[in-house]
């Protein structure tokens, strides 16, 4: 075996085609993973996770099928070279899928396939099995695979543990393949080098695309979320309100409720304590309401409409049912005042609440009605809520009267 033979294998036309196809598939896979994997991880529905997990496995076999079709078109080169390049591309895909998807099924495939491949391989009929090598390589492969999967969040492109694990993964696989095929050592060394090159490129692609997604998401957040409070802004409201109106105006059996509220006497906070305190009040109220929406579990979305005015859109809940949320917000405000600069600030809100009606021609009609109810609450002495024209004082206001 000479160095020239290894270089020839690594730089062959077939190796170049293999690299282009593999890298192309990895780019597509990375995009899919970065687009959907986070939502899958955050989902609490086990059925969705199972379907997603099976879809990822199907995606892996689809990518493998594409590789098979590409290699069927390669007619130049020895059987040994074509076979080893094909297997190397498959190894790259299986390893990368394990690393980028949080999917235990793919880990099981990575551990189980070497054994399955050996059992069904025709070539094992022609060679005596080297059991110590087979068992040692297989056990080490299982240990390395499990370690890489369980520690993947800690490992990066230049982390020595990742590189060592990746090299051991390739060595174990090619030891198991050598037992069946007894390919020349030059081919195996060449394939190991190509495997490391492919995985290096794959990790670079992943890092670059992660940076792209991070930048894109930051820009998206900046465009759609209020910089001061962190909640959805007016531009986001304009887009969402149209979509949600178009959906619910056709199915009025599923209620759509709009709640508009603002902070009572907000101008006094700015005038007496300064704009920094005013900003703290806005952040405090928005975070408190977001928390109550999360606890309420009705899927409400909070928007900052402008100044001290906010808007909540809740699907599947009518105006009377949403009173529970309004009372919960008021109760928390009453029990947990804002403490800042050795002061305790008591904050109250006024609300206007309405539900989509069959006579509403657009979301603007619903908004205007809720806004009118808000001002009805404010004109009734503030610290009140008005639901479909009926005004009620908040509980703390009732106790003080």
The pTM (predicted TM-score) of the whole model is 0.55
The overall longest dimension of the chain from CA atoms, in Å, is 97
Q: Are 345 and 378 in contact (CB under 8 A)?
A: no
Q: Are 286 and 225 in contact (CB under 8 A)?
A: no
Q: How far apart are CA 311 and CA 373, in angstroms?
A: 13
As assigned by CATH, the class of the 234-400 domain is alpha beta
- Tell me the torsion sign for CA atoms 303, 359, 319, 246: negative
Instruction: Give the pLDDT of the chain (401 residues) as one tens digit per residue.
Output: 455 666 666 667 777 777 788 888 888 888 887 777 655 554 555 666 778 778 888 888 898 888 888 777 766 655 666 667 788 888 888 888 888 888 888 888 888 887 777 666 655 444 566 778 888 888 999 999 998 888 887 776 567 888 888 889 988 888 888 877 777 777 788 888 888 888 888 888 888 888 887 777 777 667 788 889 989 999 889 989 998 998 888 777 789 999 999 999 998 888 888 889 999 999 999 999 999 988 876 678 999 998 899 999 999 888 888 889 999 999 999 888 888 888 888 899 999 999 999 899 999 999 999 999 999 999 988 889 999 999 988 765 555 54
CA 343 to centroid of chain Cα atoms: 40
Both tokens assigned to 272: 């007496």
Smallest CA-to-CA distance from 231 within 293, 318, 324, 298 is with 293
Neighbours of 79 (CB within 10 A): 7
Alpha carbon separation from 190 to 28, 171, 211, 376 (Å, rounded):
26, 12, 32, 79
Give start-end residues of each CATH 3.30.70.270 domain in the chain.
234-400
- Grouping H, G, I as helix, E, B as strand and the rest as coil, residue 77 is coil
Hey, what's the torsion of the CAs at 307, 313, 318, 324, to 10 degrees? -60
Q: Are 176 and 124 in contact (CB under 8 A)?
A: no
Smallest CA-to-CA distance from 372 within 362, 386, 361 is with 386
**Which residue spans within 202-276 are E strands per DSSP?**
256-263
| Pairing label, strands 384-387, 349-355 | parallel
- Grouping H, G, I as helix, E, B as strand and the rest as coil, residue 166 is helix
């Amino acid at each position: 075996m000479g160095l020239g033979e290894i270089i020839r294998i690594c730089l062959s036309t077939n190796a170049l085609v293999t690299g282009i196809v593999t890298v192309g598939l990895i780019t597509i896979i990375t995009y899919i993973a970065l687009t959907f994997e986070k939502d899958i991880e955050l989902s609490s529905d086990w059925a969705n996770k199972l379907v997603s997990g099976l879809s990822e496995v199907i995606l892996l076999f689809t990518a493998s099928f594409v590789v098979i079709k590409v290699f069927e078109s390669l007619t130049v080169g020895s059987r040994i070279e074509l076979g080893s390049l094909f297997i190397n591309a498959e190894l790259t895909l299986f390893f990368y899928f394990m690393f980028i998807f949080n999917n235990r099924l793919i880990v099981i495939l990575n551990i189980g396939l070497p054994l399955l491949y050996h059992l069904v391989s025709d070539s094992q009929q022609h060679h005596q099995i080297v059991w110590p090598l087979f068992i040692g390589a297989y056990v080490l492969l299982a240990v390395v695979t499990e370690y890489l999967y369980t520690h993947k969040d800690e490992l990066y492109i230049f982390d020595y543990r990742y590189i060592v694990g990746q090299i051991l993964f390739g060595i174990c696989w090619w030891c198991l393949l050598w037992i069946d095929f007894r390919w020349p050592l030059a081919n195996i060394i060449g394939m190991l080098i190509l495997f490391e090159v492919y995985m290096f490129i794959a990790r670079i692609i992943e890092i670059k695309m992660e940076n792209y997604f991070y930048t894109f998401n930051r820009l998206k957040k900046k465009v759609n979320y209020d910089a001061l409070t962190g909640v959805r802004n007016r531009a986001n409201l304009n887009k969402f309100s149209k979509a949600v109106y178009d959906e619910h105006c056709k199915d009025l059996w599923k209620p759509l409720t709009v709640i508009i509220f603002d902070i009572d006497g907000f101008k006094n906070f700015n005038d007496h304590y300064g704009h920094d305190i005013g900003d703290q009040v806005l952040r405090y109220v928005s975070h408190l309401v977001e928390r109550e929406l999360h606890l309420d579990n009705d899927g409400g979305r909070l928007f900052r409409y402008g100044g001290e005015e906010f808007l909540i859109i809740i699907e599947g809940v009518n105006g009377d049912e949403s009173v529970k949320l309004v009372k919960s917000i008021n109760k928390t405000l009453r029990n947990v005042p804002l403490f800042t600069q050795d002061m305790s600030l008591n904050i109250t809100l006024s609300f206007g609440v309405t539900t989509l009606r069959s006579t509403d021609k657009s979301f603007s009609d619903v908004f205007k009605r809720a806004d009118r109810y808000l001002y009805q609450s404010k004109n009734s002495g503030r610290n009140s809520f008005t639901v479909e024209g009926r005004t009620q004082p908040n509980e703390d206001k009732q106790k003080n009267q």
